[in-house]
C-alpha cells in the first residue's frame, strides 16, 4: 500500500460494522488426577470458547461465521473444524484447520479481523488446544484414552526433517532444539558478546519470563527461576544442545486450551458490551524465510523478523518504546534477543505478558493464542498499545499484530505482507556442499548432549575456502576441538580449523 492510499484510508470514515474488536478471551488448563480423566483437545476447545463467550458478556458462540483452529500435534482428528462446529451447533462459512506454525494464532487473528473489515462476517473465533501431557502419560502407561478415536489415516503434518537436507538430518540438526543454537552463537558473536555474556543475557531474560509466568493463573510452572538456575546444568536441568539447558527451551508437555472471540464494533455495542472491554486490531504484518534453513544468507539476524517488527513500529509511530505491553515469541532465547534489538529496546525489556514457552508452557503451535488472551487482559487493565509477535519453524515464519484499547487511526489494511522488504535485504546465499578440503571457517555451531549429560557430538556450520557452506561433525572423542567450541570467554565463530573426511564420508572439523 503506497503513501497516498494510506492517507486516503486514514481520512475515510470507517463504518462501525467494519471495525473489528476482540470482545472475549477464554483459557483452560487441565491437570487431571487420573490419566483417563484428562480432557482431549476438542473438549478443551469447546470449554475455552464457552469461557470466551462468558468473558464477552454476550451470546456469540451460536453466531460464529469464521472459525480458525490451530493445528493439533498431541492428537490427530479427521476434519476437526467440522467436528468442533458440530459440537458448538454452528455452520460457519469459513471453517479452517491450518498447518503447523507457532505464528499461526496471530495470523488467524489478523485474517479474521480482515474478514470483519471486509464485511464477510460479523463474529469470528480463533482457538487452539493441546493435551500433550495426558497423551504422553497415557502412551507410557499403555493406556487407551476415552477420546475421539485417533485418526491414523490422516497424514502427519510435515515438520523438521521434511524440509531439511539429508546431511542436516544425519548430523541431528533438523529439530528446533538443535537448529536455534546456530542463531544463538552467530547472533551473539555478531553483537560482540562473549559466550559468557550471551549466556548471562539469556538467563536474565528467561528469569523475567518466569517472573511473569509465576503471576499468571494459567501457567504450567508458577515459579520464578533465577538466571543461574536457568543457565546452570544440573541433573534436573540438563544440557540439550549448546548453549541450551532444559529450562531454556519450550515445554510442550502441557494440557491447555485458549480461544478469542471477535466481532464488529457495531455488533459489540448493540450487544451492550462495555467500551473498556473492547480491544481494537490496528494492523499486522508477515514474512517468511526459506523452510530449508541452510539456504539462508546468514544466521545473526532474520530479515523477515526485522521487516515484520519494523512494520509494527511504523504502526506505533516509528518507536518500539511506544509499546507498553509486548509478547516476544520465546521458544529459545535467541528469538526475543534478536527481536528486542530490532525494536531498539534494551536488555531490561519486559518481553512478555504471558510467561513464555518454558514457564507458562508451550502447547505446541498455540502458545500465541494464550498470549493474545493475556494481552487483551493487559490492555483492559490499562496498557495502551500492545505488540504480539509470533514465530514458527526455525526462525522461519513471522507474524505480528498491534492491539489497542483505542481505535486505530486508519482502516485495517488488507495487504500486509512485508516479504518484499525482507527479500530486499537478503545477501548472497552460499552453495551447500558435502565435500570439501582445506581450512573451514566457523559460521556457527552447537554441541548435542545425551540424556545423561554426555556429549554425543558437535556440529559446525562452516564456510569452505571456496565460500561454500558445509556441515561438519566434531566427534565426542575430540576433546580439544570441543573445548575450543565451548570456551565461555571467546566465541569460536570466525575461527579456522581443518576440514577432514571421516570413514563414513561425513566431513569433520578440527580446531587448528
Q: How far is the CA of 229 from the CAs of 215, 251, 454, in angstroms?
A: 19, 16, 20
Beta strands in 201-337 (DSSP E): 239-241, 244-245, 255-264, 279-288, 325-328
Give per-residue pLDDT as tens, 351-371. 999 999 999 999 999 999 999
Q: How far is the CA of 359 from the CAs of 214, 220, 281, 301, in angstroms?
A: 8, 6, 27, 25
Residues 6+ apart with CB under 8 A from 184: 198, 202, 243, 244, 332, 333, 334
Give per-residue pLDDT as tens, 60-87. 999 999 999 999 999 999 999 999 999 9
- Please compute the mean of the pLDDT values over residues 185-204 and round it to a whole number: 98
Q: Do domains 18-141+252-424 and 438-511 have the same CATH topology?
A: no
User: Three-state DSSP class for 111?
Assistant: helix
Residue 8 has pLDDT above 90, yes or no: no
Residues 6+ apart with CB under 8 A from 270: none
Bigger pLDDT: 155 vs 281: 281
- Please compute the mean of the pLDDT values over residues 284-288 and round it to a whole number: 98
Beta strands in 405-495 (DSSP E): 438-449, 455-463, 469-475
- Please compute the mean of the pLDDT values over residues 115-124 and round it to a whole number: 97
CATH number for the 438-511 domain, one of 1.10.287.3510, 2.40.50.840, 3.40.50.1820, 3.40.190.10?
2.40.50.840
- 461, with CB counted inside 10 A (0-12, 13-18, 19+), is buried
279-288/239-241 β-pairing? unpaired
94-97/66-69 β-pairing? parallel
Residue 1 has pLDDT above 90, yes or no: no
Give the helix ranges, DSSP H, for 271-403.
303-315, 334-342, 356-359, 367-380
- 49, with CB counted inside 10 A (0-12, 13-18, 19+), is buried
Give me the count of residues in the chain: 512
Dist. CA 7–CA 382, nearest whole Å: 29
Residues paired with residue 470 on neighbouring β-strands, in sequence order: 462
Cβ contact 246:11 at 8 Å: no
Output the CA angle 151-220-53, nearest 5 degrees.
70
Q: How far is the CA of 424 from the CAs of 298, 303, 304, 306, 429, in angstroms?
A: 14, 9, 10, 12, 13
Dist. CA 349–CA 337, nearest whole Å: 10
User: How many whole angstroms from its chain centre is CA 68?
Assistant: 18
Among left, alpha and beta (phi > 0; psi -120 to 50; other), residue 387 is beta
Give per-residue pLDDT as tens, 377-431. 999 999 999 999 999 999 999 999 999 999 998 899 998 999 999 999 999 999 9
Q: For the chain, give the mean pLDDT.
A: 95
- Please compute the mean of the pLDDT values over residues 272-280 and round it to a whole number: 95
User: Three-state DSSP class for 463?
Assistant: strand
Q: Predicted confidence band at 329 (pLDDT cuts at 50, 70, 90)? A: very high
Three-class HEC string of 489-504: CCCCCCCEEEEEECCC
- Please compute the mean of the pLDDT values over residues 244-259 and round it to a whole number: 98
The domain locations on the chain are 18-141+252-424, 438-511
Give per-residue pLDDT as tens, 10-66. 445 789 999 999 999 999 999 999 999 999 999 999 999 999 999 999 899 999 999
- Please compute the mean of the pLDDT values over residues 293-317 and round it to a whole number: 98
Cβ contact 468:461 at 8 Å: no
> What architecture does CATH give domain 18-141+252-424?
3-Layer(aba) Sandwich (3.40)
Select from 68, 365, 331, 342 the least CA-distant residue to 352. Answer: 331
Give per-residue pLDDT as tens, 480-506. 999 999 999 999 999 999 999 999 999
Catalogue the long-range contacts made by 5-11 (C-beta closer than 8 Å, 24 or more residues apart): 6/410, 9/410, 9/411, 9/413, 10/409, 10/410, 10/411
Cβ contact 391:288 at 8 Å: no
Dist. CA 115–CA 281, nearest whole Å: 12
Amino acid at each position: 500500500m503506497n503513501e497516498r492510499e494510506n492517507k486516503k484510508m486514514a481520512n475515510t470514515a470507517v463504518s462501525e460494522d467494519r471495525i473489528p474488536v476482540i470482545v472475549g478471551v477464554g483459557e483452560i488448563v487441565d491437570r487431571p488426577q487420573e490419566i483417563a480423566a484428562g480432557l482431549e483437545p476438542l473438549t478443551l476447545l469447546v470449554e475455552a470458547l464457552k469461557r470466551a463467550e462468558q468473558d464477552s458478556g454476550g451470546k456469540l458462540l451460536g453466531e460464529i461465521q469464521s472459525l480458525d483452529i490451530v493445528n493439533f500435534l498431541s492428537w490427530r482428528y479427521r476434519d476437526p473444524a467440522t467436528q468442533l462446529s458440530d459440537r458448538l451447533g454452528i455452520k460457519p462459512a469459513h471453517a479452517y484447520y491450518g498447518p503447523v506454525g507457532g505464528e499461526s494464532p496471530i495470523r488467524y487473528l489478523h485474517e479474521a479481523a480482515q474478514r470483519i473489515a471486509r464485511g464477510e462476517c460479523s463474529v469470528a473465533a480463533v482457538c487452539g488446544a493441546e493435551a500433550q501431557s495426558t497423551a504422553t502419560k497415557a502412551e507410557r502407561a499403555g493406556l487407551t484414552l476415552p477420546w475421539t478415536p485417533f485418526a491414523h489415516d490422516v497424514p502427519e503434518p510435515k515438520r523438521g526433517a521434511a524440509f531439511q537436507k539429508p546431511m542436516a538430518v544425519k548430523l541431528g540438526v533438523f529439530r528446533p532444539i538443535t537448529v536455534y543454537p546456530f542463531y544463538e552463537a552467530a547472533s551473539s558473536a555478531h553483537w560482540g558478546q562473549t559466550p559468557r555474556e550471551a549466556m548471562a543475557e539469556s538467563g536474565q531474560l528467561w528469569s523475567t519470563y518466569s517472573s511473569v509466568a509465576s503471576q499468571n493463573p494459567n501457567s504450567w510452572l508458577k515459579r520464578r527461576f533465577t538466571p543461574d538456575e536457568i543457565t546452570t546444568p544440573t541433573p534436573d536441568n540438563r544440557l540439550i544442545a549448546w548453549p541450551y539447558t532444559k529450562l531454556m527451551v519450550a515445554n510442550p508437555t502441557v494440557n491447555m486450551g485458549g480461544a478469542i472471540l471477535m466481532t464488529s464494533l457495531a455488533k459489540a455495542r448493540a450487544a451492550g458490551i462495555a467500551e473498556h472491554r473492547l480491544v481494537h486490531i490496528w494492523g499486522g504484518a508477515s514474512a517468511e524465510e526459506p523452510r530449508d534453513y541452510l539456504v539462508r544468507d546468514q544466521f545473526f539476524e532474520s530479515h523477515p523478523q526485522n521487516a515484520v517488527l519494523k512494520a509494527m513500529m511504523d504502526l506505533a509511530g516509528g518507536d518500539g518504546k511506544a509499546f507498553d505491553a509486548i509478547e516476544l515469541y520465546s521458544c529459545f532465547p535467541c528469538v526475543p534477543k534478536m527481536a528486542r534489538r530490532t525494536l531498539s529496546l534494551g536488555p531490561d525489556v519486559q518481553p512478555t505478558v504471558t510467561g513464555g514457552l518454558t514457564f507458562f508452557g508451550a502447547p505446541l503451535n498455540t502458545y500465541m493464542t494464550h498470549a493474545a488472551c493475556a494481552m487483551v487482559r493487559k490492555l483492559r487493565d490499562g496498557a495502551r498499545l500492545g505488540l504480539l509477535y509470533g514465530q514458527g519453524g526455525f526462525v522461519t515464519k513471522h507474524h505480528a499484530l498491534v492491539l489497542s484499547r483505542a481505535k486505530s487511526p486508519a482502516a485495517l489494511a488488507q495487504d500486509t505482507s512485508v516479504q518484499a522488504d525482507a527479500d530486499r535485504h537478503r545477501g548472497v546465499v552460499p552453495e551447500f556442499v558435502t565435500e570439501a578440503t582445506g581450512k573451514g571457517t566457523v559460521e556457527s555451531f552447537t554441541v548435542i548432549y545425551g540424556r545423561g549429560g554426555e556429549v554425543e557430538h558437535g556440529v559446525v556450520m562452516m564456510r569452505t575456502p571456496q565460500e561454500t557452506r558445509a556441515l561438519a561433525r566434531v566427534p565426542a572423542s575430540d576433546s580439544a576441538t570441543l573445548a575450543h567450541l565451548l570456551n565461555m570467554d571467546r566465541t569460536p565463530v570466525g575461527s579456522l580449523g581443518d576440514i577432514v573426511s571421516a570413514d563414513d564420508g561425513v566431513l569433520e572439523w578440527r580446531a587448528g
